[in-house]
Structure 1
């Protein structure tokens, strides 16, 4: 479905922000929270909880909601009323959608900003950045929406498969055994103080994209990235070591990139809201703090999971690790 151009306000009688909002939302706000609640059969408090879960501030008494907002609440409450999930579960799902889409939206905008500048400096200039942005919305958003649904389905299928393949415990489907890896750029804070904004952005983008490529190659997945660090999981310890070696090769061995430290730990973790929690996560992060530059160290659990005919390992001197006391990290290498 193509955007409704009549809602875009191309006549110039709207502020630039309003024109962009109208082009993206394809509708104008016409309901307040009380009207949304009345039309969807929820309480005002429930409507506001769902809105906050999406990550938006409350609008008290303002007509800030569109017909699409009303339809979204009605759809969500439809499968609550059917008994598929309860309301608290619906709020959790909504929070996940909100956080994921917020980051995706920021990612899309930051990526396309440079394209807007290119359009306005070339032969296809419209005379204003807003004009070029509206044009990009027309061209990019419809296929991008289809891509989002496709990617969600693929990742949903993969997530269900992982729970089965990774041996989720029958008594707790949220708990799985994995190898957890943490990659951390060395002296990133000091380095970032010497770079301009574009250079920092380029550095982070290269680091994250290269890590993503390596993790995907070994069948793992990135749980989250924090600019100068990446948390990932794999099904096996061998895959985790492969990822770590790959990251060292593409980051630490590149003279244009900072050095990197890697820590790995293995064991049961708890899955919650797209994140993971448990001692292996904390241990992997702590190990990066004591690892040498462009080196990998692991915990004993990870070393024990590696086939001894292919890997050799040696214990390093014990050192204090916050939250774990004295720990003997392990260095591993292929035979």
Structure 2
């Protein structure tokens, strides 16, 4: 559903807000790097629950023993014991899963990790927060891999390859992207594969051997896809005409929005709604990629895409409408596309062109594609569509009579719509985009 705020800026990227609890803390409160937490354990998050805190284990065990002793004579003590045993078993498996995925035990406090990596605590905290990790005081929660990551980022800054601000951006963009990827894999992928096949095993118990088998394969695949995407992005930058175009580029930007999605959320069951959104996002992503565009992001009932070429964007917009129209399970769709200067940052797009595409989507009739005047002119300039059907008809007639050259083989048709004021953008003249039949 297209919002009223300013384009992509109103659609915040997923920051991976509840990512794994990790670092900071004031080194002054722990000058020796002992790992003691002077502020207490309230900000530790789930580390104590996972049994990873060295300081809380004995007291937790003695407390549990006392509680079990008090409940020994109660009628339901057996049931309570079973629940405690299950909880303990789940916690043990959670710790083992973390060790398997991270490849090392927790052994450093944030201060100790920063000192070992040779960076200031302040810079380490900035890196960790940028990656999406929560503050945890001075608990031993970090591994050798955390130290190595700090050392690498700091090394890039020291070598002059990245400024400190750029290194923080690298940490933030990587953290945001991988946080969403990890959530998707756990929620959508592992959940389906870990359905218990044996009533004697829990999903948690099945997850460990499954992750053990999948982890190296998924890691290699992730690196492969990243390299392919990096090669494509680098190619686009190299082809830019000048340095300014690398940041502020002329692009076609489009939104595709499901009509009546809010009503659907009230009518459909959660599972049905989830399946519909997944089908829409999958179809849109496949179409955008297949025709040479780039999917910027998905927002449930809406997708944002871009293309270097107006003809490519026009084909994507029309294909989305045609595909969804032939799917009886899908609601109607509307698409808005604008062409102009776009600021790209951390994989997202910003600017007036993005805002205009969003507004065009919100006023587009069902199952139609609306474009702005600049987009229509770009299609005319590249010979993809006649800006004036009358001029195109005259050219065709002249060619038939032998008094003129035949017009280009136009793929698209453009029909001007009524001018209208658009909030924040003044008066715009939308154009209806169709195939030339």
TM-score with structure 2 setting the length: 0.70
> Structure 2 residue aligned with 1:155, among 229, 239, 247?
229
Q: Deviations over 1:175-219 (max 9, x none)?
A: 111111110111112201222222121111111110011101111
Q: What secondary structure sits across from 1:179 in the alignment?
A: strand
Q: Which residue of 2 aligns with 1:115?
A: 193
159 and 13 in structure 1: CA distance in 2 versus 1, 3 angstrom threshold: closer
2:123 matched to 1:46?
Answer: yes
2:416 matched to which residue of 1? 315
Which whole-Å CA distance do the structure 2 matches of 1:14 and 1:201 have between them? 30
CA offset at residue 171 of structure 1? 3.6
Q: Measure, in 2, the Cα distance between the counterparts of 1:150 and 1:323.
A: 43
Counterpart check, 1:231 vs 2:269: no
Q: Deviations over 1:126-175 (max 9, x none)?
A: 7121121112101111110001111111101100111233x353345211
Give the aligned partner of residue 24 of structure 1.
Answer: 101
Distance, in Å, in 2 between the alignment partners of 1:87 and 1:249 is: 48
The residue number in structure 1 matching 2:389 is none
Q: Who is 1:3 aligned against?
A: none
1:329 and 1:227 mapped to 2: Cα distance? 26
Residue aligned with 1:314, SS: strand
Pair 1:67 & 2:128 matched = no
Report the Cα distance in structure 1 between the residues aligned to 2:222 and 2:92, rounded to whole angstroms. 29
- With 12-21 and 139-148 compared, the bigger mean Cα shift is at 12-21
For 2:211, the equivalent position in structure 1 comes to 137
Check conservation: 2:368, 2:433, Cα contact below 8 A. Answer: no
Q: How many residues align?
A: 321
Match of 2:272 among 199, 203, 210: 199
Q: 1:304 aligns with which of 377, 388, 393?
A: 377
Distance 2:319 2:414 in 1: 19
8 Å contact 1:219–1:234 — kept in the other structure? yes
**The structure with more radius of gyration:** 2
- Structure 1: runs of 5 or more not aligned: 1-8
* Aligned-partner Cα distance in 2 for 1:268–1:126: 60
Q: Secondary structure at the match of 1:246?
A: helix
- Correspondence for 1:97 among 174, 179, 188: 174
TM-score relative to the length of structure 1: 0.91
Q: Secondary structure at the match of 2:256?
A: strand
Root mean square deviation, CA, Å:
1.8
Residue of structure 2 aligned with 1:182, choices 245, 255, 277: 255
